[in-house]
Amino acid sequence: MPRGRRRRVPNLAGWAWSDRVRESFVLAPLAGMVGFTLLAVATAAFDAVLSAALLAELGAQGLHGALVPVVESANAVLATAGPATLTVLGVVFSITLVALQMATGQLSPRVMYLFTRSWTTKLTLTVFLGTFIYTLGVRYLGGLLEEGEGPFLPLLSTAVAMVLVVASLAAFVFFVDGAVNMMRATSVLDRVGRRTLAQIRAVARAAGEGVEPGPAPAGEPVTVRSGAEAGVLTGVDTWRLVRWAERNDAFVRVLPAVGDYIPAEAPVLRVWAAERPDRPERAAAALRTGSERSAHHDPVFGLRQVVDIGVRALSAAVNDPTTAVQCIDRVQPLVEEFAELPGDACVLCGRGGAPRVRLPLPGWENVVEVAFTELVLESGGQPQVSRRLMAALRDIEAAVPERRRPAVRARIEELRRVCARSLPREVLAFALAPDRQGLGGGR
């Protein structure tokens, strides 16, 4: 392999722990419950000190006479706030889960992660559960502290409980707003589209730090097999893999692409080195696998989700061509961004510019096939969709370099054939006229 100049190794593994936190639906609520329990202990301790000070100042008789209404009101608030928030929480989340199930049935089950990764959802659950735990803890601690010489006055505890009730109401409003948005096709498409666009650009930046792939090194490579359970490749820890290659003075080729299913003990790496590499299982551990494709480190899968929604909208059961047009609106900029990738692979360099790791990248022809093949096949008999597809394909053809245009032209010809089979000759020219609004007269 040719040696290039020194390049920075992009670290694509920083997502590992942050993704686990985002994907977890229990971590934030459990941490919140612990935090609110500690808050209950702190406020109860403060109120115990305050009660002792007032007892010393007014005496037991005076304290009872002056603050009995305050104590009764505070206990009423604490007794009402906790059970009420828990009841509302159960009803709201039950209804929301049913509504989300219906929405994903209309859009795609693969967008359910938008709900599980939503911080609004997690914070709402945390605040509601925390309010219940807090009020329960204050009442329990108050009952223990009342066994002393004087009454327990939960002044600060009640004030905090009322603040938590207000926070629960505010969180509920934001939660409902977010849940409604997650049920709207345009909102889901926008969120998936934005994240996919960011992923494509991250891959392009990583590829820009590498060099053009060259011929394989001379010699017989060592094949490294996966040591993990069978699963889908969700990402590659490139920093760790390059460092391993440097320690072994080796060149590593990653065989599967992100999104590929890797059976147990399947070949995942080929290693060229002067001597037998030390502990190759450490290199294989740089490949992250999961039970399903990642929605956040696999840009082709993000494109796949948008196309799935469009294909489902064109099915006979749904028959919603306008949603399909909205999907094409989001597909077009994603495909144009994919055109910025240098090729179907890149080589990352280590210290001194020595090539160390060859990574597969999304191939242009595969991207165009994923983006348009199914939409074109399902667009027969839908002039609104075929017109929007033709406009998108023409715009992409004009935007990408000449070497990438044959794949786009193939989809244009396929669209013509599908429309010719599905529509009368009299409306064929109309159905194939480029229109960025489908049937809106746009050009």
Percent of the chain with pLDDT over 70: 86
- 195 pLDDT above the threshold of 60: yes
Highest average pLDDT, of 211-220, 280-289, 388-397, comes from: 388-397
- The position carrying tokens 């010393």 is 56
Interior CA angle at 201 toward 369 and 284, to 5°?
80
**Could you tell me which residues are beta bridge partners of residue 223?**
270
What pTM was estimated for this model as a whole?
Answer: 0.80
- Which comes out higher in pLDDT, residue 160 or 294? 160
Higher pLDDT, 375 or 183: 375
- How high is the pLDDT of residue 413? 95
Question: Can you read off the two tokens belonging to residue 373?
Answer: 């093949």
Which two three-digit tokens encode residue 119? 């911080």
pLDDT at 83: 81
Task: Give me the pLDDT at residue 15, please.
Answer: 52
* Whole-angstrom distance, CA of residue 443 vs CA of residue 437: 8
Give residue 5's pLDDT: 41
Q: What angle do CA 406, 259, 330 make, to 5 degrees?
A: 55
Question: Does pLDDT of 12 surpass 70?
Answer: no
- Residue 154 · residue 44 · CB < 8 Å: yes
In the chain, the percentage of residues whose pLDDT exceeds 90 is: 26
Q: Pick the residue with more confidence: 106 or 315?
A: 315
C-alpha gyration radius of the chain: 30
Q: Where are the domains of the chain?
A: 18-183, 193-431
pLDDT tens, residue by residue, 54-112: 666 655 555 555 566 666 677 777 777 778 888 888 887 787 777 777 777 778 777 77
How do residues 342-359 score in pLDDT, each as one tens digit?
888 888 888 878 888 898
In a 3-state reduction of DSSP, which class is residue 358? Answer: strand
CB within 8 Å of 235: residues ≥ 6 apart: 12, 13, 15, 16, 258, 287, 288, 294, 297, 298
More confident residue, 106 or 230: 230
Q: What is the mean pLDDT of residues 301-324?
A: 90
Higher pLDDT, 85 or 415: 415
Candidate from 144-153, 198-207, 363-372 with smallest mean pLDDT:
144-153
Residue 1 DSSP SS3: coil
Least confident of 142-156, 197-211, 366-380, 396-410: 142-156
Tokens encoding 361:
């990248």
* pLDDT of 394: 95
Query: Domain spanning 193-431 has what CATH number?
Result: 3.90.1170.30
Average pLDDT over residues 155-182: 86
Query: What percentage of the chain's residues is helix, strand, coil (to nearest 5)?
Result: 65, 10, 25
